[in-house]
Amino acid sequence: MPTIVVEVMPKAELLDPQGKAVAGALGRLGKTRFAGVRVGKRFEITVEGHVDDAVLAEVQELADTVLSNSVIEDVVGIHVLDAPAGETH
Amino acid sequence: MRIGVVTFPGSLDDRDAQRAVRLAGAEPVALWHGDHDLHGVDALVLPGGFSYGDYLRCGAIASLSPIMTEVIDAAKKGMPVLGICNGFQMLAEARLLDGGLIRNEAGRFICKDQQLRVESASTDWTSGFEQGQEITIPLKNGEGGFIASAETLERLEGEGQVVFRYLGPNPNGSLNEIAGISNARGNVVGLMPHPEHAVEPGFGPDTATAMRSGTDGLTFFTSVIERALVGA
């Protein structure tokens, strides 16, 4: 079954307290080369049947309206996993 | 007056809100998220809690509940709707209110009695307050940081849609210390602090006079009742 991946990140200009906390932990571990961390979300959506442009358009719409909130987040990527060569978006 | 309180999976303060409605002198009506029926209520409260475990985003899944079709429709027709904490998050997710709520700046859950300034006494839920009145009601949330674009923020401030502002140190990093806002019409109000927990002497926040005697939250509910009586 094909899988569509949607990636969502908090808007770049917004403070990301989760990322800040992780970055703080890295600093305490002595990992000083890592200047910052931001935490986002990855959705893996399995699709019945094959993925065509209509399915991708529907996922794009869901990504914009349900999976993310455009006030606080950006959809940074949508791509298909396990797709036959040539159909990867 | 009949005021509906919608219970979602994970709502916690629905019964507190019903009790507040009763103490204010109206009849509380328990509504269920899965229904498409407001049972003829005159106003609505979306209560606090952790609907759907705050999965996806706080209030996001609840904002897609069956009953939200009717809630959004009623709100757009002018029915008074109050969103408390998780209810505020739902109203923002449903786009009935501008902006959004993100994790508290300090990354910690906050639970304290919070002083607020009433910035607008012209909404359906705040008409019993004086403009500029300082009140104290409990604040308890992990994701209460109010954010909006610079343009939206300017409009909210300019149009008098900022209804409550935090006093003292900013508890959660909210822009412009915003604790609550309304829609342009003033019938939909959302705030992070909890008026329903400050409605009865003995069970509210401490005041200068006596422990747990704060009842500032009651005015939210009496305001909407008085509005309805005047309008009737």
Predicted confidence (pLDDT) per residue in A34-57, tens digit? 999 999 999 999 999 999 999 999
- Whole-angstrom CA distances from A39 to A9, B57, B146 are 7, 14, 19
- Whole-angstrom CA distances from A3 to A44, A85, A87, B165, B174 are 6, 14, 12, 45, 38
The reported pLDDT for the residue numbered B228 is: 87
**Chain B residue nearest residue A67, CA to CA:** B56
The reported pLDDT for the residue numbered B32 is: 98
CA distance A16 to chain B (A): 8
B64 vs A contacts (CB less than 8 Å): 66
The reported pLDDT for the residue numbered A83 is: 55
Tokens of B16: 């507190």
Is residue B56 within 8 angstroms of chain A, CB to CB? yes
- Average pLDDT of span B91-114: 95
Tokens of B226: 């008085």
Domains held by chain B: number = 1
Backbone angles phi, psi at B195, to 5 degrees: -65, -30
CATH number of the domain enclosing B191 = 3.40.50.880
**Chain A residue nearest residue B103, CA to CA:** A17
Give me the residue from B64, B98, B173 closest to A15, CB to CB: B173
The reported pLDDT for the residue numbered A84 is: 56
Is residue B99 within 8 angstroms of chain A, CB to CB? yes
Query: Cα(B71)–Cα(B65) distance, rounded to whole angstroms?
Result: 10
Range of the domain at B46: 2-231
The reported pLDDT for the residue numbered B157 is: 98
Q: Residue holding tokens 């401490």?
A: B206
* pLDDT tens for each residue of B103-126: 999 888 999 999 999 999 999 999
Q: Which residues lie below 8 Å from residue B172, measured CB to CB, with a gap of 6+? A: B104, B105, B106, B110, B141, B144, B145, B146, B192
Q: Is residue B194 annotated as part of the catalytic site, yes or no? A: yes
The reported pLDDT for the residue numbered A85 is: 52
